Amino acid sequence: MASTAEGVAPAPADKPPVALKLAHGFGSVAFGVKDGGFNYFLLLFYGTVVGVEPGLVGLAIFIALVFDAVSDPVVGYWSDNLRSRWGRRHPFMYAAALPVGLSYFLLWSPPEWSQTGLFIYLTVLAVTIRTFITFYETPSSALLPELSRDYEERTSIQAYRLFFGWVGGNAMSVLMFGVLLTGPLGMRDPDGFRTYGVVASVLMVTAILVSAMGTHHRIPTFSKPSPSPERFSLRRILREMFEILSERSFIALFIATVIFSIALGVNTSLAFLMLNYFWGFSEFQIFIWTTTVFISAAMSFFIAPFAVRKLGKKHATIALGLLAFTIQPLPVLLRLVDLMPENGDPILFPIMLAVNIFDLALIIAVQTVSYSMIADLVESNQVRTGRRNEGVYYAAMTFTRKTTQGLGVLAAGLILSLIAFPEGEEPSAVPQDTLWQLGAFYAPTLLILWMAALYCLSRYKIDKAQHEANLAALAEVKSD
């Protein structure tokens, strides 16, 4: 166990200053902007503005996901074992900044090529962007366990990160729908998308550099890779990764994250249809709905740390989740039995808006606490194996977030196919029976997925007492 001590750096302050939390958290703006662009605008832009066949756009994104399947764990493991004067993480973070900005700018300013040429152009840029986002996001996220080893403080640090991720992504959506796409061409305005590309690229580069430079001074306090008598080999890498990922608490958290991501994919994919068709809200009301995400993110910033202090991480996640995931489908279920105001009633939108603000705050809080639970796996794994592998853990979660939402999109598509939802019809032209079926599939599907995810989280075993015991065991090894 002597080698373990070499991998343990001086313990960081239990409560890092607010400036450090802000710097680390602000970096998640880059991932939030990229995620929003890929989820909401990429298919719209290339399919309707540029004129690429939607199937080719989907294929390009799928190819990028295949590359993610390789790059995420590779970058995670590589950053766990890198030795440099800038530590294990920061070389990746600095290296990502300019490639991310340049490739994201080019993505929204495509040349006038053929279908094949544009498909290749989109595929190359999608792979490049997602790979270099991994170069930044995985090492940056993996800094969290080393910024503080305090059980509750880690949730506070994660709250900053989730807050900026949601705010950054949503700010670009508000800019698009409220400013850039409001001209005569509306959603088909290529200049609006080009301007978005410039603004988004500058914001992403700024976020990455601010985060990297703002945490740079803490490098001497971060752990170094533990030396190993074995030479690097594929066999060693696979064995170590199996050891890391075989911990039961990690498996519980991983499966829960997969199910959460699928549920989010269903919710995101059907959000516009539910708001515009099921509830009959206007485009302006939907825009107002979008802007209130900032309120929800701010509320969650305080809810998550408070809940952890009172309940501990696992119980806080379950309690918040039970509340959030029953509130979310409740209005739909009430509408199905005619207990909600009719569409067009002046009271309907304020009721739904208030419910959504509170519910989304709870959902973001659940994400915050569940992601902070990853940090506590690091010391548990170090006690078992003698190695710190933050990068591998966070790479697994990052990959899950990026890929399984696609399963949610698939599930949403199956729902629309089952109810034979008409394409291109105005809300008033869709039969009421079809809208009722949409709600009848939407609400129970989400409820089942959310409850399954919470059940998996209940199998997570590391509480505050176990975490502190792990820290004590590592401190004892270090002192030997």
What's the pLDDT tens digit per position in 6-31?
Answer: 444 444 557 899 999 999 999 999 99
Q: What is the pLDDT of residue 7?
A: 46
Q: pLDDT (tens digit, 9 = 90+) per residue, 203-244?
A: 999 999 999 999 999 999 998 886 665 565 667 777 777 777
**pLDDT reported for residue 404:** 63
Query: Which stretch of 373-377, 394-398, 437-441 has the lowest confidence by average pLDDT?
Result: 394-398
pLDDT at residue 315 is higher than 70: yes
pLDDT recorded at residue 148: 92
Report how far residue 290's alpha carbon sits from residue 269's, in angstroms, rounded to the nearest whole number: 15
pLDDT of residue 153: 94
Give the torsion sign (CA, 127, 128, 134, 137).
Answer: negative
- Inform me whether the pLDDT recorded for 406 exceeds 90: no
* Cα–Cα distance, 31 to 204 (Å, whole number): 8
Q: Which position has the higher pLDDT, 459 or 270?
A: 459
Predicted confidence at residue 128, as pLDDT, reads: 95
With beta carbons less than 8 A apart as the criterion, state whether 201 and 102 touch. Answer: yes
Rounded CA-CA distance 361/377 in Å is 25
Please report, in angstroms and rounded to a whole number, the separation of the first and last CA atoms in the chain.
Answer: 9
C-alpha–C-alpha distance, residues 169 and 268, integer Å = 14
- Tell me whether residue 364 is exposed, middle or buried, using C-beta atoms within 10 angstroms of its C-beta: 0 to 12, 13 to 18, 19 or more: buried
Interatomic CA distance for residues 382 and 317, integer angstroms: 24
Report the alpha-carbon distance of residue 387 to residue 8 in Å, rounded: 9
User: Is the pLDDT at 343 greater than 70, yes or no?
Assistant: yes
Q: Which of 151-160, 227-236, 351-360, 458-467 shows the lowest mean pLDDT across its residues? A: 227-236
> Tokens at residue 464, please?
């505050």
Give pLDDT tens digits for 270-313.
Answer: 888 899 889 999 888 988 998 999 999 999 999 999 999 999 99
Determine the Cα–Cα distance for residues 363 and 356; give it in Å rounded to an integer. Answer: 10
The region, left, alpha or beta by phi > 0 then psi within -120 to 50, assigned to residue 312 is: left
At 391 the pLDDT is: 86
Domain 2-225+233-479: give its CATH code: 1.20.1250.20
Tell me the average pLDDT across 378-392. 85
Domain boundaries, the chain: 2-225+233-479
pTM of the model: 0.85
Cα Rg, the chain, nearest whole Å: 23
Which whole number is the average pLDDT over 356-380?
A: 92
Both structure tokens of 241: 């990764």
> Which whole number is the average pLDDT over 439-461?
92
Q: Which of 180, 433, 158 is nearest to 287 (CA)?
A: 180
